[in-house]
Chains A and B, each alone.
Chain A
């Protein structure tokens, strides 16, 4: 096993990785920014090195200082967590060049999957269903021709895009020219790259993803799906659960088999997630995340597999300790993300000092968090404060445990998403299950969140 793992991250995921290492008997090195000097991951790791000032670009993304820390401390592996450098192929390559094992897939695979067009082409060739789309569109006329084959409604997207910028939904050819012009200028302004392509607009889909694990001998298994359809208007996930409620067994099998095939096709190693849009009985590959995901505990609770430990074992070259036939889900798990955000202000991040913390517990509740009373939340990073995960024999029991857990939760000093998660759990459509990704639409927000002006 590795002697020492450097954790190139912060917050709850840094703690999660430290815990996995400790259970495996592996020493840990934390890195931190000046804004995180009193953070829990700094205290719980065996060693901790400050790598820069608060802004992430100068600390958690400071590749020279991070690599130097690994070399000085004699860390033989590095876990990137999620976000920051987790899907940076160049960083993974630099680690390898310095003799440090990057706990994740090979740089080549990260690179392939990080480029959306590239990933899509690779998936198509492996027989994975993808969203019908076009290549780069040079002009509105080219876009019109493409829309004819793809069929309206369509979505114009920026190749360099993200966060919905440079994106336009188009219902008919009459609106295409003006949408093209505005998407292009928005993409140029935001990404200095105005190139656009087109995709079929999948109407009111669900977001369902499949967890895979792959070892260095080419064994690939799936650990079922997660339904992540409860998303903020910015498409960031808020509530995730597994199994996906009401998903037809044959559709579930198709998704899982496709995910394994995709993993095999790209020579994947380590933990990864394939994200799909599901509309009716059609599934479309969206993208592959080549990292551990925020919502991984949902899968861990119903499969009884420690995904982070598996990541470390796989990176060390150990074969998977189980076959697909050994894996079966038990019960139902659901996760609520408690973020330092103000739902009344479009989920704007809230920074400040957490003055009081009371976290839930009891049967079937897991809380992954770096919170403590007195913690000062810096303005520089992701706003995730805690992941509350409930597991039960049935979906109904998991939901009632979650409702109970959210009622026990008290976090003061910053605005959080606790209350909106409670409103969602109380909603009859959510309780029925299988809602699409636009569930948290304006109407929901108006009814449950926004106070009357």
Chain B
């Protein structure tokens, strides 16, 4: 589709982008507002950033959220890529339909249901085995791994199908055992997808409020839980400052992921062109 963009489409595109970005820009601008009442302008100031950096509550929430996000991203990437490998490369195996269904289900399951069922599950476990006696870091991390691994699995599945099996078959023809093919050919080629999967799982975890609020216990506040409890009452300038910091960090992560994905795409195109060139 290389036809020209009509004026109507250009207008819609501009409006769409404005709709996306104006609220975020205002959010950032008002974080530098001196006034305590957010939408009333009281001059430029870094007052709320100072308050933010001095708040112990905020720092402990940031630290808890980051710890959960790192552990979650690591485990979700491992489990998700194993699941993706099994779905794409192992042909038909017993229970594949159930397995495939369980991989996609967390993507479409309403968060309230996932959160509710995991909380009930943890309480039941505690009554049966005495674990987890306290809800917090461990329970939130398990809950996050369960839904983020689904996203990683889908990413890896797409990458594996996109990669094709030619190189692996060639290695097998040359006498490499299946395990060797996996470690020497498949995994190295998957690396960019693994990194973007890790980043995806990391941000998903940092972003989650609903599931974490269900499975957390007293005293264990992640950053979204802390933000939510504050903004439920209304607008707060310190949350604007916090939001600006978060947007900055996430934008950096996304930029890295985008560059990686872009490079990968170009490498794929090159591979494909070379393969086509050999055929002709």
- The finding on whether chains A and B are genuine partners in a shared complex, rather than unrelated, reads no
